[in-house]
């Protein structure tokens, strides 16, 4: 079994944590910002130093490739994203990029023979922090999003603040927009591996070093509305009111009571609520809230959907309506690659469990194009998208070793 350099992994984690540092352990590194460009320049510097050839595609995805000894063979890609949410951590995304770099650096420094070219990838704007949607650029090149629509995306996220520019303008100004012909594609590439932090508490709770990820759960996202009547907060007796916010609270309680009877691993969230008129002296007349439901089993999701559709048409004298915002079928990763990750994890002597990913990742879109899989490493206390996000060096190093040996196994196929 091959092992990468723990010192080099440590150095990269420390170095990249400086690009966009908040000064409080975390980073804010929106895609294509000057902080993100500094991280990209560091990636370039390190990859050029090992003799990699670097190109970008029209969505500014970066590809650093070292040649293999076989002629005309497709590339094996490894990678993740280098952007973050506001006040995010030093591991989400970037650890997968560091893994890809470290795999290439190890192969070069140890002179490990490989037939296929190996490519380290940075996916642009995975978080969609400033320019939605998330997983934007893997989505465009895998045919999930319309390119013209995402180029027009304007900074709208309340969490991130707003940008003066559209994504297309930021892309043009970045200097990283390259040629469409450089996109990852099924002729020039034969596989993609993405290492990522778990972003949840399961691996730590189960005392496992590696998550062998077999896919990404399916989900649906609904908007639920309650319609009441706006009236004066001082003059309208309680019994006369049609308070849409009270009705929304009742609807959310109802959804929880119903979905709590489902298998324990179903997860559902109301994370966004719009309230009209949102004035402290006015009884709300309109509320519109989100409902995100996720599970691995399509039958369980279908049953949850039927439950949502059976929501009472009225709560607290207010009308209740719903409609689908969007949904996504579960994604199953390539079984052969999942098997190779498991085999190598076992051979390296690491504890592991097979698991599904709850969040979406670039690998999910790529899996529709190429054999793809993911490797998870633990997140301390399950924390992510925050400055406290942490994975120990030993855990990160173990994950890189699994990626290294898996890439070299794919190379033998
Ligand atoms: Zn991520």
CATH number of the structural domain spanning residue 256: 3.30.70.360
Same domain, 84 and 132: yes
In this predicted structure, the answer to whether residue 321 has a pLDDT above a threshold of 90 is: yes
Ligand 1 centroid–CA 199 distance in Å is 8
Say yes or no: 18 and 129 in one domain. yes
CATH number, domain containing residue 156: 3.40.630.10
Distance 166 CA to ligand 1 centre (A): 22
Ligand 1: centre distance to CA 257 (Å): 31
Centre of ligand 1 from the C-alpha of residue 229, in Å? 42
Confidence of residue 160 (pLDDT cuts 50, 70, 90): low
Q: Is residue 277 part of a domain?
A: yes
Judge if 89 and 208 occupy the same domain: yes
Provide the β-strand partners of residue 354: 212
How confident is the model at residue 369, as a pLDDT?
Answer: 96
| pLDDT at position 331 | 95
Query: Are 294 and 372 members of one domain?
Result: no
What is residue 165's predicted lDDT score, i.e. its pLDDT? 85
Distance 322 CA to ligand 1 centre (A): 30
Report if residue 49 sits inside a domain: yes
For 88, phi then psi, to 5°, come to -90, -170
Through-space distance between the first and last CA atoms of the chain, rounded to whole angstroms: 17
Q: What is the mean pLDDT of residues 190-200?
A: 97
Q: Please state the rounded mean pLDDT for residues 136-145.
A: 95
Distance from residue 360's CA to the centre of ligand 1 (Å): 8
Judge whether residue 162 has pLDDT over 70.
Answer: no
* Domain end among 328, 348, 380: 328
Q: Is 297 part of a structural domain of the chain?
A: yes
> Please, what is the average pLDDT of the chain?
95
pLDDT tens sequence across 237-263: 999 999 999 999 999 999 999 999 998
Q: Say whether both 229 and 210 belong to one domain.
A: no
Residues in a beta bridge with 166: 154
Look at residue 401 and tell me if it is in a domain: yes
User: 155 or 352, which is more confident?
Assistant: 352
Task: Measure 91 CA to ligand 1 centroid, in angstroms.
Answer: 8
- Mean pLDDT (whole number) for 184-212: 97
**76 and 111 both lie in a single domain:** yes
Tokens for 313? Answer: 């048409």
Output the CA 389–ligand 1 centroid distance in Å.
12
| Residue 161, pLDDT score | 57
Assess whether 338 and 320 both reside in one domain: no
- At residue 361, the pLDDT reads 96
Domain span at residue 98 reads 6-216+330-412
Instruction: Please tell me the predicted confidence (pLDDT) of residue 264.
Output: 80
Q: Does residue 1 fall inside a structural domain?
A: no
Last residue of a domain, one of 293, 328, 363: 328
Task: Looking at the structure, tell me whether residues 48 and 133 fall in a common domain.
Answer: yes
Helical pair 94-109 and 6-16, crossing angle rounded to 10 deg: 140
Confidence band (pLDDT; 50, 70, 90) for 276? very high
- Residue 37 sits in the same domain as residue 15: yes
As for how many domains the chain has, the answer is 2
Percent of the chain clearing pLDDT 90 (strictly above): 93
Q: Is the pLDDT of residue 95 over 60?
A: yes
For residue 154, list its beta bridge partners: 166
Q: Examine the domain organization and report whether 209 and 334 are in the same domain.
A: yes
Distance 310 CA to ligand 1 centre (A): 35
- Residue 16 domain-assigned (yes or no): yes
245 plus 349 within the same structural domain: no
Tell me how far the alpha carbon of residue 393 lies from the centroid of ligand 1, in angstroms.
18
What is the Å distance from ligand 1's center to 282 Cα? 41
pLDDT over threshold 70, residue 102: yes
Query: Does residue 35 have a pLDDT over 60?
Result: yes
Residues 6+ apart with CB under 8 A from 260: none
Q: In angstroms, what is the span from residue 361 Cα to ligand 1's centroid?
A: 6
> 288 alpha carbon to ligand 1 midpoint, in Å?
28
Distance from residue 45's CA to the centre of ligand 1 (Å): 23
Instruction: Note whether 101 and 128 are same-domain residues.
Output: yes
Section 366-390 average pLDDT: 96
How many Å lie between the centroid of ligand 1 and the Cα of residue 196? 7
pLDDT at 163 over 70: no
Using the mean position of ligand 1's atoms as its centre, give its distance from the Cα of residue 397 in Å. Answer: 18
Q: Which of 271, 302, 328 is the last residue of a domain?
A: 328
Identify whether 385 is part of a domain: yes
Percent of the chain residues topping a pLDDT of 70: 98
Angle 137-201-17 from CA coordinates, rounded to 5°: 50
pLDDT band at 51; cut points 50, 70, 90: very high
The alpha carbon of 370 and the centre of ligand 1 are apart by a number of angstroms equal to: 20
* Alpha carbon of 124 to ligand 1 centroid (Å): 11
């Amino acid at each position: 079994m091959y092992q990468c350099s723990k010192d080099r992994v440590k150095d990269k984690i420390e170095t990249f944590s400086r690009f966009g540092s908040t000064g409080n352990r975390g980073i804010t590194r929106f895609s294509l910002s000057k902080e993100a460009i500094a991280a990209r320049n560091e990636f370039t510097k390190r990859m050029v130093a090992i003799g990699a050839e670097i190109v970008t595609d029209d969505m500014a995805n970066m590809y650093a490739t070292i040649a293999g000894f076989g002629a005309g063979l497709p590339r094996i890609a490894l990678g993740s994203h280098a952007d973050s949410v506001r006040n995010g951590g030093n591991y989400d995304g970037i650890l997968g990029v560091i893994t890809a770099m470290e795999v290439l650096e190890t192969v070069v420094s140890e002179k490990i023979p490989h037939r296929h070219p190996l490519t380290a990838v940075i996916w642009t704007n995975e978080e969609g922090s400033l320019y939605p949607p998330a997983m934007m650029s893997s989505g465009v090149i895998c045919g999930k999003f319309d390119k013209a629509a995402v180029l027009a995306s304007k900074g709208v996220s309340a969490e991130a603040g707003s940008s003066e520019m559209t994504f297309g303008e930021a892309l043009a100004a970045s200097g990283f927009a390259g040629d469409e012909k450089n996109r990852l594609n099924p002729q020039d590439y034969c596989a993609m591996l993405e290492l990522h932090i778990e972003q949840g508490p399961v691996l730590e709770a189960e005392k496992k070093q590696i998550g062998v990820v077999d896919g990404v759960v399916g989900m649906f996202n609904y908007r639920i509305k309650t319609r009441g009547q706006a009236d004066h907060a001082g003059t309208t007796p309680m019994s006369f009111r049609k308070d849409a916010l009270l009705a929304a609270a009742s609807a959310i309680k109802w959804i929880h009571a119903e979905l709590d009877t489902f298998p324990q691993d179903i997860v559902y969230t109301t994370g966004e609520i719009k309230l009209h008129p949102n004035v402290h002296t006015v009884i709300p007349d309109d509320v519109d809230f989100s409902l995100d439901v996720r599970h691995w089993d399509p039958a369980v999701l279908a049953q949850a959907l039927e439950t949502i559709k059976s929501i009472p048409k009225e709560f607290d004298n207010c009308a209740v309506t719903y409609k689908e915002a969007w949904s996504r079928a579960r994604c199953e990763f390539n079984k052969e690659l999942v098997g190779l990750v498991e085999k190598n994890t076992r051979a390296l002597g690491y504890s592991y469990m097979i698991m599904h990913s709850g969040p979406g990742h670039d690998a999910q879109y790529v899996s529709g194009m190429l054999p793809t899989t993911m490797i998870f490493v633990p997140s301390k206390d399950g924390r992510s998208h925050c400055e406290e996000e942490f994975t120990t060096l030993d855990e990160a190093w173990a994950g890189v070793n699994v990626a290294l040996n898996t890439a070299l196994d794919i190379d033998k196929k």
